[in-house]
Structure 1
Amino acid sequence: MNKILITGITGFVGGNLRKYLDGKFNILGVSRSKDSQSICYQDLGARQLNDKKAIIHLAGKAHDLKKTSEDKEYFEVNTELTKTLFDQFLESDCEVFMYMSSVKAAADEVKGVLTEDVTPNPVTVYGKSKLAAENYILSKELPKNKRVYILRPCMIHGPNNKGNLNLLYSFVSKGIPYPFGRYENKRSFVSVDNLCFIINELIGNTEIESGIYNIADDVSLSTNELVRIIGRAIGKPSKILNTPKFLLNLLAKFGDILPIPINSERLQKLTENYEVSNLKIKKALQKELPLSTEKGIEKTIASF
């Protein structure tokens, strides 16, 4: 059975990926502290990678919505750690390197549909640190026997990981009317099940070319559609109000000062357009994703 290394194995994606790949591969985690099922970063080197089929680099510093992190922390974790691991990969006999980047490495705002051809222009330090790691990987010459995949997922969701769906779930489950009905938007999501499916396919399929791949479900949803799906999933009616936008903008400005559920950043997240194309990865896989967008959302909501 082939061996693989997964960094960030104790995180949300890492935990799901371990379950998904269990029985298909001999899995070893990489963590800050060594235990019976993991190796610490300090002990990792090219020698430890020599007998591994792949290293899947999930570990990273996530976007800090509270903005309490220093910029250097993002570059230390998202950029420098990735550079070290990638150098070790190049020196080893390991065949596949997979880097979990983000669509935020390409753009914080999207007009139209985001594809891999866009010229990256991240605004946040999170996106910039991810892009810096991508650029380092792409700057190195790759031996013919190795494959490298830079994955840019949009918002990942799955059982027990509420993410940005938490606020919408709160509205519906508590019977609170959703007040943003006047906003018409489209956002892309990806279920952790589909993400794990793609990772598994990339490990095993030697025909898929190295490169950057956006990761998203097939269909984008408006926030109003999300609210309706949540209502159906938990068996409660979804109430959507067409509150005037100027009132909501005013409320969001109060939320920037006072501890209320809505602030300017949340309002933007709930109502902005952010569509991501998955055509490149689907063409490479030549397979359909196992979960539809709606079924994936329903599975996540059912776990709350």
Structure 2
Amino acid sequence: MKLLITGASGFVGKNLLDYLVFNSFDPFSLTLRNSAWKTNLNGDAIIHLAGKAHDTKNISNASEYFKINTDLTKELFDAFLESEINDFIYFSSVKAVADMVDDILNEDVIANPKTPYGQSKLKAEEYILSKKIPEGKRVFIIRPCMIHGPGNKGNLNLLYNVVKKRVPYPLGAFHNERSFLGIDNLNFMIKEILQNKKIKSGVYNFSDDDVLSTNELVKIISTVLDKTNLNISVPKPVINGIARVGDVIKFPLNSETIQKLTENYRVSNEKIKKAIGIEKLPNTTKEGLEKTIKSFIK
């Protein structure tokens, strides 16, 4: 099965491409940096990973998100509709529909993104869903939550370095529950979609089965590093004050970082598991996180 993957040089793309090769697929990197891709669009499926990632420092121009995440996706999707390719898998984000989650995020939530990143992803989703899909084709919109794995960068690295450097983790007063997505589980679900033609087009959340608090995550990192868990509970008003200062001076510990580390963000994966026909994904959140953290040590 010939697969075209945009964004194949990124963290998810590299891991997914290697996994698909190992599982006897025939994946190719498809670059969208110039218009040459339009002349050679053939294969069995397109996996569209390319996009502008969320900038937590908030220094990116909003128009960049819409140019890359919305307009380029529209262009690629239109080309797919005109091609002989059967499947189109678009990687959106849970942030396309919700920046905060009070209960558990399902696919039928009313979208209300607050950031240009989320809004640009939602606009691409809306465009895809507005089009009539020709008979014989399938279209999937994937909404992953926070993805991690070997080569991952982001807040997980920040926590890892805090524990590694023996800096006390100051957010012990915050108790939360959030979903994660290990790259191995992500790869498995994509493989199932590609192989099982009975899985219907639609919007699917991607997440691991279980949730963890950030305090539990810090404990896992400490255990893998064989270090004492230095978790302290700095009063919440003090932490929020530091975050506001970080917003002004562009310090890593800003309001958005604090929100990501302390918020509840539970994501349901029941729809995709039902479509695949399984009760559990291959890896637990703890197993995936331990693998990711061990890769940082190497």
TM-score range, shorter chain: over 0.9
Instruction: Tell me by how many angstroms 1:260 deviates.
Output: 4.8
Alignment CA distance shift 1:133-1:32 (3 Å):
closer
| Residues 176-215 of structure 1 aligned to structure 2 (within 5 Å) | 176-215=167-206
CA contact (8 A) 2:180 2:208 kept: yes
| Structure 1 Cα separation of the partners of residues 29 and 266 of structure 2 | 33
The answer to which of 122-131 and 239-248 deviates more is 239-248
| Structure 1 Cα separation of the partners of residues 87 and 171 of structure 2 | 44
**Match for residue 288 of structure 2?**
296
- What is the RMSD computed on CA atoms of the aligned residues? 1.4
- Deviation string, structure 1 residues 168-226 (Cα, Å, up to 9, x no partner): 11221112221111111111110111111111111111111100000000111111000
- Deviation string, structure 1 residues 47-75 (Cα, Å, up to 9, x no partner): 6334x110000000111122222121111
Alignment CA distance shift 1:208-1:182 (3 Å):
same
| Structure 2 Cα separation of the partners of residues 99 and 252 of structure 1 | 34
Instruction: Tell me by how many angstroms 1:261 deviates.
Output: 4.4
CA contact (8 A) 1:186 1:275 kept: yes
**Match for residue 18 of structure 1?**
17
Q: Which amino acid aligns with 1:302?
A: K
**Match for residue 260 of structure 2?**
269
Q: Which amino acid aligns with 1:221?
A: L
Alignment CA distance shift 1:180-1:43 (3 Å):
same
Instruction: Tell me by how many angstroms 1:259 deviates.
Output: 6.0
Instruction: Tell me by how many angstroms 1:253 deviates.
Output: 2.4
Q: Which amino acid aligns with 1:27?
A: P
The answer to which of 150-159 and 15-24 deviates more is 15-24
**Match for residue 37 of structure 2?**
44
Instruction: Tell me by how many angstroms 1:88 deviates.
Output: 1.0
The answer to which of 11-20 and 171-180 deviates more is 171-180
Residues paired across the two proteins, number:
294
CA contact (8 A) 1:162 1:300 kept: no
1:157 and 2:122 are equivalent in the alignment: no
Instruction: Tell me by how many angstroms 1:113 deviates.
Output: 0.6
Instruction: Tell me by how many angstroms 1:249 deviates.
Output: 1.7
Give me the TM-score of the superposition, normalised by structure 1.
0.93
Instruction: Tell me by how many angstroms 1:109 deviates.
Output: 0.9
Say which SS state the counterpart of residue 123 (structure 1) adopts. coil
| Structure 2 Cα separation of the partners of residues 299 and 115 of structure 1 | 27
| Structure 2 Cα separation of the partners of residues 28 and 297 of structure 1 | 28
Alignment CA distance shift 1:3-1:259 (3 Å):
closer
1:217 and 2:216 are equivalent in the alignment: no
| Structure 2 Cα separation of the partners of residues 32 and 53 of structure 1 | 18
**Match for residue 257 of structure 1?**
248
Q: Which amino acid aligns with 2:35?
A: Q
Q: Which amino acid aligns with 2:36?
A: D
Instruction: Tell me by how many angstroms 1:250 deviates.
Output: 2.1
Q: Which amino acid aligns with 2:198?
A: E
1:85 and 2:84 are equivalent in the alignment: no
**Match for residue 227 of structure 1?**
218
Q: Which amino acid aligns with 1:44?
A: W
Q: Which amino acid aligns with 2:262?
A: T
| Structure 1 Cα separation of the partners of residues 35 and 254 of structure 2 | 41
Instruction: Tell me by how many angstroms 1:80 deviates.
Output: 0.9
**Match for residue 129 of structure 1?**
120
CA contact (8 A) 2:57 2:250 kept: no
| Structure 1 Cα separation of the partners of residues 27 and 236 of structure 2 | 50
Instruction: Tell me by how many angstroms 1:255 deviates.
Output: 2.5
Structure 2: gaps of 5 or more residues: none
Instruction: Tell me by how many angstroms 1:85 deviates.
Output: 0.9
Sequence identity of aligned pairs in percent? 56
| Structure 2 Cα separation of the partners of residues 85 and 255 of structure 1 | 38
Say which SS state the counterpart of residue 142 (structure 2) adopts. strand
Q: Which amino acid aligns with 2:135?
A: K
| Structure 1 Cα separation of the partners of residues 251 and 107 of structure 2 | 37
Q: Which amino acid aligns with 1:293?
A: T
- Deviation string, structure 1 residues 102-154 (Cα, Å, up to 9, x no partner): 00001111111100010111110111110111011111111220111100000
Structure 1: gaps of 5 or more residues: 34-40
| Structure 2 Cα separation of the partners of residues 227 and 100 of structure 1 | 28
Give me the TM-score of the superposition, normalised by structure 2.
0.95
Instruction: Tell me by how many angstroms 1:235 deviates.
Output: 1.1
**Match for residue 9 of structure 1?**
8
